[in-house]
Amino acid sequence: MSGTQGGAGAARSRTKWWIVAAITAVPALLLAGFVAMVAVWVVSDDELSRSGPEKVPCADALRFGGAALPDGAQAVGTCEVQGFQDIHYSGAFRIPRADVRDWLTSTYPEAGAPETQFCAGSDVDLCLDVDLAGHEPPVDAHAVRVDVEYEDGGTALVRFAAFTL
C-alpha cells in the first residue's frame, strides 16, 4: 500500500508544480510583451523624428501661417513641412523690394513694424516675428518668422517659416 500512496503523492506534487509554473509564467509573458511593445514604440518614434522634410505647395506653407503668396511672387526652390509633435513649414520666394513692407503689414497688421536692426544673420535686412495667438481668422501656426534679404535689381528674397510650439 505504501507504493500506491507514494505514487499518489508524487502525482499531487507534480500537479502543484505545474500550477506554480503557470502562475509564474503569466506575469513573465506579460512583462516580455510590454518590453517588446516599448522597444517597437522607441524604434518607430526614432524613425519618425529622423524623417526629413516633405515638399508641399508654397500656398499651403503660407496658409498654415495665415499668409498668402503675394501677387507677382516667384517661389524659390520648394516649400517644406517637417515635424511630429511640433510642425514647421518653411519656404522662400522673391517679390519686388517695394512690395515687401506692404505685404507684411497687410498680412500681419497686429505684428507692428518689421525690424531692421535686430535681425538674425548678416544678410537679413528686414525681419518680423509674429505671435499668432490672437490672429483673425485663427490659423494653425503658433508663430511666424519672416526674414527679408534685399537683392540686386530691386527684388527681395523672403524666407518664411511658420511653426507650432
pLDDT single digits (tens) 24-39? 888 888 888 888 887 7
- Euclidean distance between CA atoms 34 and 104, whole angstroms: 52
pLDDT on residue 51: 62
Give yes or no: residues 23 and 90 share one domain: no
Question: Locate cell 526614432: which residue?
Answer: 46
Which candidate, 149, 158, 57, places its Cα nearest to that of 104? 158
In the chain, what percentage of residues exceed pLDDT 70? Answer: 84
pLDDT on residue 122: 74
- Please give the tally of structural domains in the chain: 2
Residue 160 · residue 61 · CB < 8 Å: yes
Give yes or no: residues 118 and 143 share one domain: yes
Q: State the alpha helices, DSSP H only, in the chain.
A: 2-50, 58-64, 100-107
- Euclidean distance between CA atoms 142 and 91, whole angstroms: 17
pLDDT on residue 153: 82
pLDDT > 90? residue 43: no
Give yes or no: residues 87 and 14 share one domain: no
User: Which residue range forms the structural domain that includes residue 137?
Assistant: 54-163
Give yes or no: residues 82 and 145 share one domain: yes
